[in-house]
Amino acid sequence: MLLPTNYFVLLPFFLVMLASCAASDNKASAKEENSGCTQPKEMELAAAKIVKGVVRDCEGYEDDDEAEALCVLKGFTKYLARTMEEQGFEATVRDKLATSLEAYSCSDNSLSSSNPLRSETWEDPVSQQTLQIQVMQEHASSKIHLIENFVSAEECQAIIDQANVTGMSNASVAGGQLYSSIRKALQTNVAVPWDLEHTGHPISRATRRVYNYANHVLKGLHLDEAGQSTLKFILYSGRGQNDTEPDLYNNHCDGACDGSQHRTGGRVATMIMYCGTATSGGHTNFKNAGIHINPKTGDGLFFSYIDPETMRMDNGFSMHSGCPVYVGEKKVVTQWLRLGVSSSRPYGAFRGVF
């Protein structure tokens, strides 16, 4: 039978069905932009199969448009319910597998970083320094890049010296709470002396490189230092392999990672600079992306969680954690990058927006 013209009311269901198909594939692999039924041909075949099945089940109602429309509506509703149930089951399985993989990668101190999708170079426009980039993930709303020798020993020492002057305190998480069960470390803020940038000050030089690289990746956002938060120096200390409460940072997102629209003043990217790596432990994991980072001192880890074209946030692939530190010290410097802040409306004006 032919679908009557009043079946246009089913279009939203059909679009949800295709969106569900795309979401399922994106969850299956953030590294594959066009996998499974998200490819146009696969989507057409899947849609045709579903429509044929629903139409076949509703034969016999040709003389009763209302009954026919109700039958088709029930058919699509049943299919969507079954699809959503299947996606929920698949998500649960993937989460269990990701958790197991994360536990394994944290326990194996000799495990190397995940294989990159590709390697490329980037030249810092200020220093003309050419750096090697390992592109670990390249998704529209979630990019993960490991940058070799991003920060120099001189720059790290300047940051550490300033951190010692400021003084350390127990690490907090977004929202400013003084203690969190998901994060155990010491931290302090390190102000960037932008007024000394023209002199080549090592802290401002390193931080300028952060913004240069962020704008290289997130073209069109024009991120700059005005209104941004200070650098955050974080120290994770090892107290032995038998430590039952080691310094660590459990799974979290630095910004919104629920696929929502970006909120003005919210974070869009993070740069972590490794100024010291532990002898045992301290690697970085991206659980949902299946990516493990075993950094070297001086490396930079850049990851973004916004699609610059749609302004939608990542849907969980930027979730990450810091493995427990057992021996040695892990010293990292973090710069969170926000979009929509300015000198007149700094990050502090956007309380509750991360």
pLDDT in tens, 114-130: 999 999 999 999 889 99
- Asked if residue 99 has pLDDT above 70, the reply is no
Alpha-carbon gap, residue 41 to 138, rounded angstroms: 23
Per DSSP, the three-state class of 352 is coil
Angle in degrees, CA 296, 256, 115, rounded to 5: 30
Same domain, residue pair 304 and 259: yes
pLDDT tens, residue by residue, 74-94: 887 887 777 777 766 666 666
Given a contact cutoff of 8 angstroms between Cβ atoms, the answer to whether 172 and 178 are in contact is: yes
Residue 109 lies in a domain: no
Note the pLDDT of residue 4: 45
Same domain, residue pair 185 and 327: yes
pLDDT category at 35 given cuts 50, 70, 90 is very low
Note the pLDDT of residue 86: 73
Residue 331 lies in a domain: yes
Given a contact cutoff of 8 angstroms between Cβ atoms, the answer to whether 266 and 253 are in contact is: no
Residue ranges making up the domain that contains 213: 116-349
Alpha-carbon gap, residue 99 to 251, rounded angstroms: 10
Identify the domain boundary among 104, 130, 150: 104
Same domain, residue pair 302 and 193: yes
- Asked if residue 42 has pLDDT above 90, the reply is no
Alpha-carbon gap, residue 128 to 268, rounded angstroms: 26
Q: What is the CATH number of the domain that holds 294?
A: 2.60.120.620
Same domain, residue pair 129 and 215: yes
pTM of the model: 0.77
Alpha-carbon gap, residue 236 to 171, rounded angstroms: 10
Identify the domain boundary among 81, 104, 127: 104
Note the pLDDT of residue 69: 81
pLDDT tens, residue by residue, 216-270: 999 999 999 999 999 999 999 999 999 999 999 999 999 999 999 999 999 999 9
Alpha-carbon gap, residue 260 to 266, rounded angstroms: 12
Q: What is the mean pLDDT of residues 281-292?
A: 94
